[in-house]
Amino acid sequence: MKFFTSILCIATAIILSSCSSSQQTSQSSLSTQEQTKKDSLYVFDKIPTNEQTKQDTTLTTESSKTLKTYYVVQIGAFTTKERAQEFADQSKAKIKQAITIKYRPDINLYVVQLAPAYTSHEQAENARNEIWKTGSFSDAWISTEQK
């Protein structure tokens, strides 16, 4: 039994020593490859300093502080101002609330909305739910605006 244990120990030692030498060889060749890659590496952009990063963050934070989110009940959207105005006039007769028309260049449409805009989503939902009851504006929805 001692004989097999000693053979096992010797075999393990031989295997470990051969692995470590091949590992060292592969590590040295990797180091050469990595060095070649580093030598051929070209950086196109400068890495911003902490001061530049701080300034960018400050500008973003300041601009986001000035914008506030408002919730608007939108009752229609049209491709022409004339059609939007016609719809707004008809809508004023059905609901006793101020209505505005705004051009939205991001969607290339004239939107018809209830006025004024609300500061909370809950207020806008309440207003929308009230006009839903009329039946004529069952497709009204809430849109957000940044001002």
- Whole-number pLDDT of residue 93: 87
User: Among 101, 57, 50, 59, which Cα is nearest to 80's?
Assistant: 101
Domains of the chain: residue spans and CATH? 69-146 (3.30.70.1070)
Report the distance separating Cα 118 and Cα 104, nearest Å.
18
- Whole-number pLDDT of residue 23: 46
Q: Which residues of the chain have pLDDT under 50?
A: 4, 19-27, 37-46, 53
- Whole-number pLDDT of residue 34: 54
The pLDDT tens digits for 41-84 are: 434 444 555 555 455 555 555 555 689 999 999 999 999 999 99
- Whole-number pLDDT of residue 144: 93
Q: Global pTM?
A: 0.55
- Whole-number pLDDT of residue 135: 85
